[in-house]
């Protein structure tokens, strides 16, 4: 249980820190924690067309469903802050968010002995509650709710947490490119 809760807690808590050094600290600390628990996650290399396509679709939906008037929570002050914001957004967020939202939460809601429940198992309540969790963890609630439902459906189809991490990664890469090219800082 600690391998899911600790990384997410650190990820969220370090998000309250501001500035370039905070982004660097967040990346380093979260990377170390992920590396420390890596064997427990039992992740394997996995890429599929459906994961990549899902990533592109959810990136487009995120752009369309995020209000243009929403205040940007991050505008880079220098290149170093931008680099570490991107590294956190592209590499750290998909792993930590998907592990807790779609690997841990649905299984623990099904059975407190969650390790006996295969990844990709969901009932209606775990589907809804994992979506609510993902949604409230983001400031773009409408986009997050829609994206979470799609990622839950991807997990139900593939039964592989790696497919969801890949989809989230692809979405974030696409979003980074869009954000930088259009100065749409409200999408972070």
Residue with tokens 């600790």: 6
pLDDT digits (tens, 9 = 90+) for 5-30: 999 999 999 988 889 999 999 999 99
CA 79, CA 77: separation in Å to the nearest integer?
7
For the full predicted model, state whether its pTM sits above 0.75: yes
pLDDT digits (tens, 9 = 90+) for 65-89: 998 777 777 888 899 999 999 999 9
CA 77, CA 112: separation in Å to the nearest integer?
45
Task: Kindly give the parts of the chain with pLDDT less than 70.
Answer: none
Contact 41, 100 (CB under 8 A): no
């Amino acid at each position: 249980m600690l391998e899911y809760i600790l990384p997410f807690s650190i990820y969220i808590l370090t998000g309250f820190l501001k500035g370039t050094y905070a982004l660097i600290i967040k990346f380093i600390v979260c990377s170390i924690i992920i590396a420390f628990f890596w064997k427990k996650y039992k992740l394997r290399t996995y890429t599929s067309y459906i994961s990549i396509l899902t990533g592109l679709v959810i990136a487009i939906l995120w752009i369309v469903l995020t209000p243009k008037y929403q205040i940007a929570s991050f505008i880079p002050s220098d290149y170093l802050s931008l680099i570490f914001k991107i590294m956190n957004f592209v590499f750290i967020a998909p792993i930590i968010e998907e592990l807790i939202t779609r690997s841990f939460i649905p299984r623990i809601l099904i059975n407190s002995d969650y390790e006996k429940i295969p990844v990709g198992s969901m009932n209606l309540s775990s589907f809804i509650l994992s979506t609510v969790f993902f949604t409230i963890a983001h400031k773009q609630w409408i986009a997050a709710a829609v994206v979470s439902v799609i990622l839950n459906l991807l997990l139900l189809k593939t039964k592989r947490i790696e497919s969801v991490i890949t989809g989230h990664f692809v979405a974030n890469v696409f979003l980074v490119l869009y954000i930088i090219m259009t100065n749409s800082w409200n999408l972070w």
